[in-house]
Amino acid sequence: MKTIACKNLDYDENKYSEDCNISGLGPDKFVWERRDFEGKLQLCQFCSLRGRINSPTSCTSKNKAQCNDFEEAEIEVIQREPVNLLKQKS
């Protein structure tokens, strides 16, 4: 899957804990779902320059840019690699 958003947004589930998952925000737009310390669902974006952004739509388009570093690009959305339980036991 791919999306058009700021080149600094990170959509690789393998970089984050299993408490963070990518979900669809709309046609070809994505958001991270994560649990806060109380277990409540939070929607956010992860930026390689600024870390977690607590707005689910931030930087998904030029008019929603949070900083001057916004540069539109096609980004690969990488889903978490499945855990091979047989490999873990050896």
* Inter-residue contact 42 to 58 (CB < 8 Å): no
pLDDT at 86 over 70: no
Q: What is the pTM of this model?
A: 0.84
At 65, which amino acid appears?
A
pLDDT tens track for 56-78: 999 999 999 999 999 999 999 99
| Domain coordinates in residue numbering, the chain | 2-79
